[in-house]
């Protein structure tokens, strides 16, 4: 484990874990409001397969410092600094939920020179907010504001319910209580201002232009019972927008498919990486 210092003015430290080694680099980008520990079921499988695995806590979450901005230009800027700091080549980016936004914005603004492929896992692109030109967006302005108010008024209660919904499919929580409690603990490490700002970022950012610039092989993996980021409004649309993509649907999968269905998730991920 280490920290990477970002920026020269008012620098922040980003908490990073790097397995090292000479295998293909795989960068795992966690979802909101969790930490790099959310990848506990993926890191060993990837390392055992010979890959170099890098995880990090997003700014304002977990063990990383808070920042002064949480829009996707800032967040993808952190990712870009990390890729360059570690001098990663032929890497695979895996963005879960909110982390899919960093992947999309990285490709849309900085290109794919260091990358061999990308993965959108239960990810928020192409655009969650319902607007006049995005009627299929699953979140309207009222829902977004209610989410922020709920978190601001009662963070503990909000995270307890959110993590329940996170792992629920067809009315049933699909992970152990210990796994859900671990997610609550991760969420509790978030800076509240960061968590609130990131709701606007993942809910209101339009990634359609970013996706139009994706050319490298892409895996879209999504649960068909996702109650947080519905498949039809996100993963399916991302797959349709990317001609060089494959879609893997986890039957009965909730939002947190990497925890609820780790074996299937890991097989799909490794099959994709091995094919690059």
Q: pLDDT tens across 152-164, in order?
A: 999 999 999 999 9
Token pair of 32 as six digits: 């909101």
Cα–Cα distance measured from residue 236 to residue 259, given in angstroms and rounded to the nearest whole number: 21
Look at residue 1 in the predicted model and tell me its pLDDT. Answer: 58
Task: Give percent of the chain with pLDDT exceeding 90.
Answer: 96
Cα–Cα distance measured from residue 235 to residue 138, given in angstroms and rounded to the nearest whole number: 12
Look at residue 7 in the predicted model and tell me its pLDDT. Answer: 59
**Catalytic choice (65, 78, 191, 226):** 226
Q: pLDDT tens across 180-229, in order?
A: 999 999 999 999 999 999 999 999 999 999 999 999 999 999 999 999 99
271 annotated active-site: no
Cα–Cα distance measured from residue 113 to residue 111, given in angstroms and rounded to the nearest whole number: 6
Look at residue 105 in the predicted model and tell me its pLDDT. Answer: 98
**Catalytic choice (64, 76, 97, 234):** 97
Distances (CA, A) of 276 to 91, 141, 221: 10, 40, 17
pLDDT band at 12 (very low <50, low <70, confident <90, very high): confident
pLDDT band at 11 (very low <50, low <70, confident <90, very high): confident
Look at residue 6 in the predicted model and tell me its pLDDT. Answer: 64
Q: Please, are residues 255 and 97 in contact by the beta-carbon 8 Å criterion?
A: yes
Q: Please, are residues 17 and 54 in contact by the beta-carbon 8 Å criterion?
A: yes
pLDDT band at 169 (very low <50, low <70, confident <90, very high): very high
**Catalytic choice (30, 255, 260, 261):** 255
Q: C-alpha angle with apex 88: 82 to 91, nearest 5 degrees?
A: 105
226 annotated active-site: yes
Helix/strand/coil for 173: strand
Q: Which residues, other chains included, contact 204 with Cβ-Cβ below 8 Å and sequence gap of 6+? A: 128, 129, 144
201 annotated active-site: no
Q: Please, are residues 60 and 30 in contact by the beta-carbon 8 Å criterion?
A: no
Assign a CATH topology to domain 2-274.
Rossmann fold (3.40.50)
Look at residue 135 in the predicted model and tell me its pLDDT. Answer: 96
Mean pLDDT of 91-108: 98
**268: pLDDT strictly greater than 60:** yes
**9: pLDDT strictly greater than 70:** no
Q: Please, are residues 216 and 243 in contact by the beta-carbon 8 Å criterion?
A: no
Q: pLDDT tens across 237-251, in order?
A: 999 999 999 999 999
């Amino acid at each position: 484990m280490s920290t990477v210092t970002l920026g020269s003015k008012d620098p922040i430290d980003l908490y990073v874990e790097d397995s090292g080694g000479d295998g293909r680099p795989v960068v795992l980008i966690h979802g909101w409001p969790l930490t790099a520990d959310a990848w506990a079921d993926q890191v060993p499988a990837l390392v055992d397969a010979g890959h170099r695995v890098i995880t990090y806590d997003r700014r304002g979450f977990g063990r990383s410092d808070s920042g002064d901005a949480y829009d996707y230009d800032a967040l993808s800027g952190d990712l870009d600094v990390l890729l360059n700091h570690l001098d990663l080549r032929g890497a695979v980016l895996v963005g879960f939920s909110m982390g899919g936004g960093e992947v999309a914005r990285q490709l849309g603004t900085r290109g794919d020179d260091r990358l061999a492929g990308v993965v959108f896992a239960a990810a928020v692109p192409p655009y969650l907010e319902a607007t006049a030109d995005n009627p299929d967006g699953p979140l309207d302005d009222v829902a977004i504001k209610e989410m922020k108010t709920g978190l601001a008024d009662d963070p503990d209660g909000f995270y307890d319910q959110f993590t329940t919904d996170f792992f629920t499919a067809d009315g049933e929580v699909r992970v152990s209580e210990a796994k859900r409690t671990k997610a609550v603990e991760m969420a509790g490490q978030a800076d509240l201002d960061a968590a609130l700002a990131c709701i606007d970022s993942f809910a209101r950012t339009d990634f359609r232009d970013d996706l139009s610039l994706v050319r490298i092989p892409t895996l879209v993996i999504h649960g068909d019972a996702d109650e947080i980021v519905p498949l039809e409004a996100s993963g399916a649309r991302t797959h349709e927008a990317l001609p060089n993509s494959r879609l893997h649907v986890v039957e009965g999968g909730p939002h947190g498919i990497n925890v609820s269905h780790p074996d299937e998730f890991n097989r799909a991920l490794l099959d994709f990486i091995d094919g690059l």
